[in-house]
């Protein structure tokens, strides 16, 4: 087993083994770029080390120490110095680097090898006592915090104190003597906090730092981050040991970060920050003001030009936007890190098409460079930037969107106010599982504590709720039901605020919300905007490539028309339940309380023309495209008054001596229809069999609507879908009735109608017996919402707010199975049902309706198991189109 590799031995394709940082350091080394030499201890080593630690069977993988010694020896030879040598010390950095970058999660220690003696050697060799002491205090600070777990604030406070004593704000004003004092203080802090002296042996420092990096893989925040980013738990991190170069040598030195394009907008041109006389993280830590790369050219033309040349070269080599860390040591440029850079969604789309135009990549690849999630983010409304806005605070952009509502400070109020139709923003110091109900009810969530991996942030993203977290300048007082802003303003319960989950900004009052340009483009508006054009080109290519068709779930003509503009190729699910609400509720009541056949027929006769009109309008909006109409699905009592409310009403009336016969009869029926488990009760096809007139009426309304559309020279393509079928016999019974209705209408109207009849597969039994059910079905549509409930045996409406957060904690699932398909279990049933159905009917059309149809991961799964189409809400249609394209490319 080999544990350690020289940079020269690796390549960028070995991220699994060497981690991202190590693989790219190797790649740059082999490109001949100026990279300080070093070696990488593999992720395998980390896994072996952690396994030993867990079982207690050993301290360290066998042979590791020897290999490190060997590689260190060749590094010392290459550098002509020995680690921590008293006269001329070699110093190294010990850097973490996992396969996927986990910013701020893991640890790095610089200047390893300095001690009370070698600091003198460094000072003599570099001719700068100040530089040597500065390097030493940095080692103590990083080593103390990272390896010895001393509270890092103790160090930063002590440093601040030294600056204060000197009467300065800048670390640059501290001279060698001041820094020597800081070093002594830091050593004392370490001693006080750990009961031990800072280890003086350079090799011991290095070994401890290596272990600290391995251990950092398992910290709580690293685990939480991985769960949230869906990074597997068992990868481990690599460790890079690299010769130090020094940006803190003086004003002819410095360190910086750069991007080969603007990571925010995607615009061409180099972007970056440079800080003179600085080391490591200084440049991003905001300790002093940085300068732009253009200004760096004024300071050090040669290093700047070298950097530009290297950046161009890296971008051509990686064929993508890169981000870079570099250091200048006395006028010489060194490359310390590169990787394909993270970018905002809008930058992702722009960069992808720019790179096609520059001949760097093909369109296929451009489509793979963007994701449905990014597209979804671009479709969120944004606050109108031209509107006048009063900024109250800025926190972290935890979950995108623009939310406006009244501030509330507890879950009960959030739920209560939301129930009466008000938009609310839940404001908390931080959230915990007790706040879930409030979070569900709110438009957005604002917290003053916690980062992007806090409870609020993780849960909000999971629910697609807008969230700004960690707005630390806000003083939230939930008892007083108010929060105070730093400048003294107070926002009380009921005051309107606006939060921007894309930027992290919090505004007073209602900021007007503007539609996204991408949505306006989808809506057919001609807009001169290069982002909209980039999206259009990518979508066109994805559409050309994809196999999977994309339909929409739409119950109204407006939704249908909008989805069609968004590229929907038909309706996969038109629910009919809302058509029975509002004024029509009374007709449903009459249907239910009818004493005899005649009463039932009379109620149905009144519903028929209304339903026909509903269907005609939807068929018109989707003219020429298939429209799958689902017959009535929910339990009937959903259309009736609440049992308790009605009982109370009747009792009170009777106490007053009033007798309301109607209310009394209704109550009898409501009692009769009341169910303990309505989701498992009289609904779907069972309703059709129990009250045959209902489905008959709906089938006739659909057939008549189709005939009307034909009279109007349209091309209606209705498909009738029967919900909640478990047995082929159920479907046969209902199907016979539907066919009779269609035949009658054809006869009456003298037309030939083309109406297929299919079923939802949303019960495990149906998936299991799909080969039999297919005999009576022209098509299948997997109702993955119900199928998920029935497969897991839990109700969506209840569980998400009750025990799901525990399930996430325990890793039972990493995302709600209602949000992203449980591919193993529920997906297994989809796959089996499809296979079995097509065994009976090889050409069986199979779709999926339910939220999963618009979820990127699920779309890929549905494509892979060969479904004909997915159907999703109108706003997810472009997302599904893009992902269906990405799935085949
Ligand atoms: P992170 O993954 O958090 O960026 P890094 O390992 O990249 O951590 O290191 C932290 C900082 O230290 C970076 O700014 C990096 O450029 C700098 N650094 C790391 N190794 C060296 C080195 N050998 N010489 C000089 N600076 C270094
Ligand atoms: Mg880095
Ligand atoms: Mg269902």
| Residue of minimum CA distance from atom 22 in ligand 1 | 244
Identify whether residues 870 and 751 lie together within a single domain: yes
Identify whether residues 392 and 291 lie together within a single domain: no
| Residue of minimum CA distance from atom 4 in ligand 1 | 103
577 alpha carbon – ligand 3 mean position (Å): 12
681 alpha carbon – ligand 3 mean position (Å): 12
The residues of the chain scoring below 70 in pLDDT are 104, 228, 286, 433, 452-453, 458, 461-464, 800-801
Would you state the pLDDT for residue 289?
A: 82
Identify whether residues 704 and 582 lie together within a single domain: yes
CATH code, domain with 454: 3.50.30.10
325 alpha carbon – ligand 2 mean position (Å): 6
231, part of any domain: no
CA 650 from chain centre, in angstroms, equals 50
| Residue of minimum CA distance from atom 18 in ligand 1 | 280
**Parent domain of 437:** 381-514
Q: Is 849 a catalytic residue?
A: yes
166, part of any domain: no
- With a CB cutoff of 8 Å and minimum separation 6, the contacts of 556 are 618
pTM metric for this prediction: 0.85
Ligand 1 closest atom vs CA 283: 14
Would you state the pLDDT for residue 452?
A: 65
831, part of any domain: yes
Does 94 sit in the ligand 1 pocket, CB within 6 Å? Answer: no
CATH code, domain with 616: 3.20.20.60
State ipTM. Answer: 0.96
pLDDT single digits (tens) 491-530: 999 999 999 998 899 999 999 998 889 999 999 999 888 9
Would you state the pLDDT for residue 861?
A: 98
Which one of the ligands is nearest to 575 CA?
A: 3
Would you state the pLDDT for residue 463?
A: 66
Which of 71, 304, 455, 637 is labelled catalytic? Answer: 455
End-to-end Cα distance, the chain: 37
411, part of any domain: yes
| Residue of minimum CA distance from atom 12 in ligand 1 | 280
Identify whether residues 877 and 747 lie together within a single domain: yes
Does 245 sit in the ligand 1 pocket, CB within 6 Å? Answer: yes
Identify whether residues 402 and 312 lie together within a single domain: no
Does 108 sit in the ligand 1 pocket, CB within 6 Å? Answer: yes
Residue finishing a domain among 277, 308, 340: 340
- What phi-psi label fits residue 193: left (phi over 0), alpha (psi between -120 and 50 degrees) or beta? alpha
CATH code, domain with 268: 3.30.470.20
Identify whether residues 470 and 552 lie together within a single domain: no
Residue finishing a domain among 474, 499, 514: 514
Which one of the ligands is nearest to 216 CA?
A: 1
| Residue of minimum CA distance from atom 17 in ligand 1 | 280
95, part of any domain: no
Identify whether residues 482 and 562 lie together within a single domain: no
36, part of any domain: no
Identify whether residues 459 and 556 lie together within a single domain: no
Does 109 sit in the ligand 1 pocket, CB within 6 Å? Answer: no
Identify whether residues 510 and 559 lie together within a single domain: no
- What phi-psi label fits residue 879: left (phi over 0), alpha (psi between -120 and 50 degrees) or beta? alpha
Which one of the ligands is nearest to 635 CA?
A: 3
Residue finishing a domain among 498, 514, 530: 514
Domain count, the chain: 3
The C-alpha atoms of residue 323 and residue 507 are separated, in whole angstroms, by: 32
Does 24 sit in the ligand 1 pocket, CB within 6 Å? Answer: no
708, part of any domain: yes
Identify whether residues 569 and 420 lie together within a single domain: no
Q: Is 541 a catalytic residue?
A: no
| Cross-strand partners of 4 | 41
100 alpha carbon – ligand 1 mean position (Å): 16
763 alpha carbon – ligand 3 mean position (Å): 9
Would you state the pLDDT for residue 637?
A: 80
Does 36 sit in the ligand 1 pocket, CB within 6 Å? Answer: yes
The C-alpha atoms of residue 705 and residue 755 are separated, in whole angstroms, by: 12
Which of 322, 849, 852, 872 is labelled catalytic? Answer: 849
Identify whether residues 576 and 702 lie together within a single domain: yes
Does 244 sit in the ligand 1 pocket, CB within 6 Å? Answer: yes
Would you state the pLDDT for residue 462?
A: 61
Question: DSSP string of 168-201?
Answer: -S-GGG--HHHHHHHHHHHHHHHHHHHSSPPP--
366, part of any domain: no
The C-alpha atoms of residue 410 and residue 353 are separated, in whole angstroms, by: 46
Identify whether residues 445 and 570 lie together within a single domain: no
pLDDT single digits (tens) 735-791: 999 999 999 999 999 999 999 999 999 999 999 999 999 999 999 999 999 999 999
């Amino acid at each position: 087993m080999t544990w350690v590799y020289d940079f020269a031995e690796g390549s960028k394709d070995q991220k699994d083994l060497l981690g991202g940082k190590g693989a790219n350091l190797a790649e740059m080394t082999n490109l001949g770029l100026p990279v300080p030499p070093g070696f990488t201890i593999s992720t395998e080593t980390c896994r072996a080390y952690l396994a030993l630690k867990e079982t207690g069977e050993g301290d360290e993988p066998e042979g590791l120490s020897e290999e490190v010694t060997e590689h260190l020896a060749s590094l010392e030879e290459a550098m002509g110095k020995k680690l921590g040598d008293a006269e001329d010390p070699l110093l190294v950095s010990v850097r973490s680097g996992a396969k996927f970058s986990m910013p701020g999660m893991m640890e790095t220690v610089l200047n390893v090898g300095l001690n009370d003696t070698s600091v003198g050697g460094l000072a003599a060799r570099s001719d700068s006592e100040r530089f040597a002491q500065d390097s030493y205090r940095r080692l103590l600070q990083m080593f103390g915090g990272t390896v010895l777990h001393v509270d890092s604030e103790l160090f930063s406070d002590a440093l601040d104190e030294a600056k204060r004593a000197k009467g300065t704000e800048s670390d640059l004003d501290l001279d060698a003597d001041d820094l020597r004092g800081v070093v002594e203080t830091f050593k004392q802090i370490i001693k006080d906090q750990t009961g031990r002296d800072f280890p003086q042996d350079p090799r011991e420092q290095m070994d401890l730092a290596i272990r600290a990096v391995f251990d950092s893989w398992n910290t709580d925040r690293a685990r939480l981050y991985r769960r949230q980013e869906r990074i597997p738990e068992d990868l481990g991190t690599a460790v890079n040991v690299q010769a130090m170069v020094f940006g803190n040598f003086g004003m002819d030195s410095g360190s910086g970060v750069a991007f080969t394009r603007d990571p925010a907008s995607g615009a061409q041109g180099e972007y970056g920050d440079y800080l003179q006389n600085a080391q490591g993280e200084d440049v991003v830590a905001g300790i002093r003001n940085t300068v732009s790369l253009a200004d760096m050219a004024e300071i050090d033309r040669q290093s700047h030009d070298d950097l530009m040349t290297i950046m161009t070269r890296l971008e051509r080599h990686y064929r993508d936007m890169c981000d870079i860390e570099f250091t200048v040591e006395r006028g010489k440029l060194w490359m310390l890190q590169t990787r394909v850079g993270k970018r905002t969604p809008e930058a992702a789309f722009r960069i992808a098409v720019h790179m096609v135009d520059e001949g760097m990549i093909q369109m296929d690849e451009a489509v793979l460079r963007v994701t449905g999630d990014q597209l979804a983010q671009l479709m969120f409304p944004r606050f109108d930037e031209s509107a006048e806005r009063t900024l109250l605070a800025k926190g972290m952009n935890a979950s995108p969107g623009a939310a406006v509502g009244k501030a509330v400070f507890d879950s009960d109020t959030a739920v209560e106010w939301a129930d009466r139709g008000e938009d609310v923003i839940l404001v908390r110091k931080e959230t915990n599982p007790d706040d879930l109900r409030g979070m569900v009810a709110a438009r957005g969530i604002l917290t003053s504590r916690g980062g992007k991996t806090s409870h609020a942030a993780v849960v909000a993203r999971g629910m697609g709720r807008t969230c700004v977290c960690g707005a630390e300048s806000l003083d939230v007082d939930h008892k007083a039901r108010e929060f105070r802003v730093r400048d003294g303003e107070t926002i009380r319960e009921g005051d309107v605020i606006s939060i921007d989950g894309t930027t992290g900004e919090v505004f007073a009052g209602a900021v007007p919300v503007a539609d996204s340009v991408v949505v306006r483009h989808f809506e057919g508006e001609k807009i001169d905007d290069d982002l909209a054009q980039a999206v259009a080109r990518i979508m066109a290519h994805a559409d050309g490539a994809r196999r999977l068709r994309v339909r929409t779930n739409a119950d109204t003509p407006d939704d249908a028309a909008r989805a069609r503009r968004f590229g929907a190729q038909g309706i996969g699910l038109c629910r009919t339940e809302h058509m029975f609400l509002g004024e029509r509720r009374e007709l449903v009541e009459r249907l239910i309380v009818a004493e005899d056949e005649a009463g039932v027929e009379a109620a149905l006769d009144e519903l028929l023309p209304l339903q026909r009109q509903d269907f005609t309008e939807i068929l018109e909006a989707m003219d020429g495209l298939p429209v799958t109409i689902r017959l009535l699905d929910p339990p009937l009592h959903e259309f009736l008054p609440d049992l308790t409310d009605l009982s109370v009403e009747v009792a009170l009336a009777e106490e007053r001596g009033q007798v309301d016969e109607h209310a009394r009869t209704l109550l009898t029926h409501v009692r009769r229809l009341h169910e303990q488990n309505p989701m498992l009760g009289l609904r779907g096809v069972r309703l059709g069999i129990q009250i045959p007139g209902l489905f008959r009426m709906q089938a006739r309304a659909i057939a008549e609507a189709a005939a009307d559309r034909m009279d109007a020279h349209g091309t209606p393509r209705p498909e009738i879908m029967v919900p909640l079928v478990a047995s082929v016999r159920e479907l046969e019974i209902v199907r016979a009735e539907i066919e009779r209705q269609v035949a009658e209408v054809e006869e009456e109207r003298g037309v030939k109608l083309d109406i297929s009849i299919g079923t939802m597969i949303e019960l495990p039994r149906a998936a299991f017996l799909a080969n039999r059910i297919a005999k009576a079905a022209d098509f299948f549509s997997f109702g993955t919402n119900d199928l998920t409930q029935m497969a897991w045996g839990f109700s969506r409406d209840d569980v998400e707010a009750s025990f799901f957060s525990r399930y996430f904690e325990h890793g039972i699932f990493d995302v709600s199975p209602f949000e992203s398909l449980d591919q193993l279990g529920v997906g297994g049933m989809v796959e089996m049902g499809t296979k079995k159905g097509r065994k009976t009917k090889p050409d069986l059309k199979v779709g999926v309706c339910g939220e999963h149809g618009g979820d990127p991961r699920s779309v890929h799964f549905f494509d892979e198991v060969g479904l004909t189409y997915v159907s999703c809400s109108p706003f997810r249609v472009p997302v599904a189109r893009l992902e269906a394209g990405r799935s085949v490319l």
